[in-house]
């Protein structure tokens, strides 16, 4: 199994949290994993991106046109990182505008769940459902339980499930 994923958003939207969930899920599945994250000044509301490589890789970075799945918590980042997605790869975008990608109004659904903080988890749920990913919903649910702060577990799961059950 080899899979390359990018997660993008702006600083503060929970890109790093999703990256860690994916990495934990990979280990749970017995797979090697390498990720690369944005830290520093860009985290102050700037554009951030994480690369995630599952399987026998050595380099933590993904090249242009090699990425299998992209998660875009901020829709405008699609323009910046579109080139990373390989032909036939799948992009999941937080937007109510449809296009050549899988779109979901994650912000709207998160608001319905009662917390905008789970926008990232709504998008994750949708991607796990439709992205042909290395892990399934059940594994991700376990990881969310393990990795969330105790007082956030239920809300995070609610957001995740809202994404999974989107039609």
Give the residues lining the site for another protein (CB under 8 A): 10-11, 19-20, 23-24, 26-27, 30-47, 57-64, 76-77, 80-81, 83, 116
* In the complex, least distance from residue 90 CB atom to another protein, rounded to whole angstroms: 21
Burial 9-29 (b: 16+ CB within 10 A, else e): bbbebbbbbbbbbbbbbbeee
Q: Given the complex with another protein, which of 94 and 164 has the nearer CB atom?
A: 94
Nearer to another protein, 57 or 130 (CB): 57
Distance of closest approach, residue 130 Cβ to another protein, in angstroms: 25
> In this complex, which beta carbon is closest to another protein, that of residue 38 or of residue 103?
38
Residue 167: CB minimum distance to another protein, A: 26
DSSP label at 99? B
Helix (H) or strand (E) holding 107: helix 106-113
Contact present, 73 and 7 (Cβ < 8 Å): yes
Alpha carbons 4 and 147: distance in angstroms, whole number: 22
């Amino acid at each position: 199994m080899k899979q390359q994923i990018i997660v993008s958003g702006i600083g503060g939207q929970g890109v790093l949290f999703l990256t860690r969930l994916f990495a934990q899920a990979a280990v749970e599945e017995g797979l090697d994993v390498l990720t690369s994250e944005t830290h520093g000044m860009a985290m102050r509301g700037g554009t951030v991106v994480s690369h995630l490589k599952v399987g026998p890789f050595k380099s933590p970075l993904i090249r242009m046109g090699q990425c299998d799945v992209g998660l875009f918590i901020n829709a405008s980042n699609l323009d910046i990182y579109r080139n990373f997605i390989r032909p036939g790869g799948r992009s999941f975008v937080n937007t109510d505008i449809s296009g050549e990608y899988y779109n979901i109004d994650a912000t709207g659904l998160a608001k319905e769940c009662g917390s905008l903080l789970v926008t990232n988890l709504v998008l994750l749920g949708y991607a796990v459902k439709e992205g042909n990913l290395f892990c399934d919903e059940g594994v991700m649910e376990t990881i969310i339980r393990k990795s969330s702060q105790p007082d956030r577990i239920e809300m995070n799961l609610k957001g995740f499930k809202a994404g999974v059950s989107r039609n």
